[in-house]
Structure formats: structure tokens, C-alpha cells
Amino acid sequence: MFYGWLIVFLVAFYQGLMSGLINYSYGILVVPLVEEFGASLFVAMLGLTAAKLVSGLASPFLGSMIDKYPMRIFVALGAVALGLAFILLSYLSAVWQFPMIFGLLIAIVFAFLGPLTGSTLVSRWFSHRRGRALGFAALGLSVGGFVMPPVLQSLMDALGWRSAFFAIGATVMVTAPIFFWLIKSSPQECGLLPDGTPADADSGRLQSQEGEDSYNNYRAILTEPSFWILGISTGILYACLTAVLANIVPYAVDLGVDKIRAAQLISTMALTGIIGKLAFGYVADFMNLKIGYWLAMAFMAAGLGLLSVQPQYSFMAFAAVVVGLSIGGIIPIYGALLARVFGIASYARVMGLMRIVTLMIAMVGAPFAGLVFDMTGAFTLAFQSFALALLVGGIILIPLKLPARS
């Protein structure tokens, strides 16, 4: 079996740990903080905000490092940081320690156990099958979100939150040497080319633009129009994504849906996101990537448009399905586009710098939707505005030039 598929599995596994224990379980983590220390929900939410902000701002520097040094070092450090964070959380004695731990350690986790390393690794190991490989690797995000929250909650119920956090942290720490031992930065380390093609003495590297480092400094990246085209378009799509995920439950509850059925809309998005990752990952290897990106935007716009008319629950669920396909599809499409436009040698450097652009735009989405609701008493105008923004994002993407496949 081609070693690249083991890389895909490892990426899916560590992204699942990160996503399942942090993104999907954050609401579980803050419960003991609120109950034991009497913290406000606002203070409890500062942890995740601090981690994402620090990780995003550090991404350009980290991306440059990832392009230069062995990947196994960073992934192992990410696992150590995740395990250590949970161990330290088990010893919390004051509220202020929570955002500090997240801002320092979980920021490292987001950088080293997320798409910055995951997409870079998979894109190095695959070329013609890159879309499918990225889709399979991204499954870890959804599977982790499905598996880890109930596991964490069960441990907390059985052992108490401090012992549960310590047990989780110690277990995660064990994975660090496994990642260090098994992860290879590129197929060249195994005498191969991407997709498993054997490398002879004259072709130990890619003989295409994907092996050339055309963007070896920040100025070269920032002066490339494709960087801004893709960064702004992706930021708009991520702003819509975060706004829907953050507000779909309040939206449904405000329209008279009970909380359990409202929460099921999130589950629907997660499950259909799995289908989106596989489907878009597969077509990314055959379809024009810009068309695939537009399709993901169209699904998101259609879901937002349907939600804006405040339909009955069955149509809300259908909208959640459509939005979930978009959420799942954007991950492999974006990763494949980045590799195609900027090449593999500069992949992490470009992605790291682009994260600042996408983060700055995406951060507007959720609070904008909340502000519109506060002012109008409904999410209608917000969802319509997002759909219009997606149209603008699609237009911005038109001049993006795609190099020919090697």
C-alpha cells in the first residue's frame, strides 16, 4: 500500500483529536469552569477566542517554518501541547488560567494539528489524487466531532472533570512519539513521487511547478493577485460558515423550534459535511477547481436563501443539508486550489499568511448576524446579506488563473 494513505489516516486522526476535543467539545469544557468558579459565559468564551486569534496571527511565521523543517516535529509538538493543556486544565485554580492555557497551548494545537500541517502533508504526498486524499483526511474533523464529545462527557460523569481532563491529556501525550515516528514530510523521504510513483536517480523530486519555490518570501506572496483573490473569496465563505454554525440554533429557537430539534440542525450539518468532503474531494480530481469552488458557494447561498424566508422545520433541515455539503466541500477544494495555484514548496507559507486574511473576514460573520438580529428581531437581513456577499465572492474568483495540471 502507498505510504501516502497512512499519512492521510494520521492526518485524519490528529485533526479529529483537535476538532473533537476542542472545537466540538468546547461547550463541555466550559461547564465546570462556570459551575465551580462562577465564571460568566463571556469569560468562558475568551479561551477559544484567544487560541484562534493567537494561532491566526502566528500562522505566517509557523507556515514558513513548516515549509523548512520536518513535519513530524510540528505534529508531535501539537500532540504534546494538546495533552499538556488538558493536564493543566485538570489543575485549574482560578478563572484567568483558562484563557491563558488556551492562548498559549491550544493556539499551538490549532496551528500544528490543523489544516496548516494536515493539508500541507496530504498535498505533498498526492498530486493527481489530491482532492480525494484531502477529502478523506478532512473526515477526521467530522468523525472527531461526532465521537469525542460523548466520550469526554462520559469520562467527566464517571471520574469527575479534573480526573477526566488528566486522563484525556495523558492519553493524548502518548500519541506524540507515534506521530514523530510515522509521519514523513514528503514522498521523497521514501524514494517516491506523489501518488506513489517510484523516483529514479534523475527524478527524486517533482518535475513540475509544484516542486519550485516561487514564493519564498512574503513580498512575493503579497504581490501575487491570486493570493488576494483566493483569500478574500475564502474569507467571505468562512464568514458565512461561522455565522450559520453560531446562529442556527438561536435562529430556530426564535422561530418556535424546541432546543433539541434546533440542535439537530447542527448534527445534520456535521453528517452531510462528511458527504461533502468525500464528494467534493472526488470531483476535485476531475472538475475545474474554480467550478467546484463556485459550487460550494452556491450550496451555501442556497441554504442561506432558504433560511432567510423563515421556513418550517422540514425546510430548515433541508437547508442544513445543503449548507453542510458546502461546509464539507470547501475543505478539499480550498486545499487543492492552494496547491494548484501556489505549488507545494510554498504551500504552508502561503496558507499561513492567507489565514490572517481569511480570519479577519471570517470573524465578522457571527457578530454581524447577531447585530442584525438585535436591531431587526430576525436573521432575515443577515442571511440575505451573506448570500449577496457570496455572489460578490464568486465574482472576485473569476480572474483566478489555474496552472495546467502536471
Using one digit for the tens of pLDDT, what is the confidence trace for 247-279? 787 888 889 888 778 877 877 888 888 888 888
Please count the CA atoms within 13 angstroms of the CA of 275 that sit on its side-chain side.
11
DSSP 378: S
Q: Locate 82 and state its grid cell.
A: 494538546
**Nearest to residue 243, comparing CAs of 358, 360, 365?**
365
Q: How far is it, in rounded angstroms, from Cα 64 to Cα 33?
A: 36
Sign of the dihedral through C-alpha 118, 120, 123, 124: negative
**Nearest to residue 304, comparing CAs of 327, 322, 280, 279?**
322
Q: What is the set of domains in the chain, with CATH numbers? A: 3-186 (1.20.1250.20), 218-396 (1.20.1250.20)
Q: How far is it, in rounded angstroms, from Cα 134 to Cα 7?
A: 11
Local structure of 198: helix, strand or coil: strand
Q: Locate 240 and state its grid cell.
A: 458565512
**Nearest to residue 349, comparing CAs of 68, 78, 147?**
68
pLDDT score at 183: 95
The pTM (predicted TM-score) of the whole model is: 0.77
Residue with cell 485538570: 90
Q: Is 370 exposed, middle or buried (0-12, 13-18, 19+ CB in 10 A)?
A: middle
pLDDT score at 203: 46
pLDDT score at 209: 41
CA distance from start to end of the chain: 23
Alpha helices in 285-379 (DSSP H): 289-308, 313-342, 347-376
Q: How far is it, in rounded angstroms, from Cα 310 to Cα 251?
A: 9
Q: Which residues of the chain have pLDDT under 50?
A: 201-211
**Nearest to residue 6, comparing CAs of 128, 125, 95?**
125
Residue with cell 475568551: 46
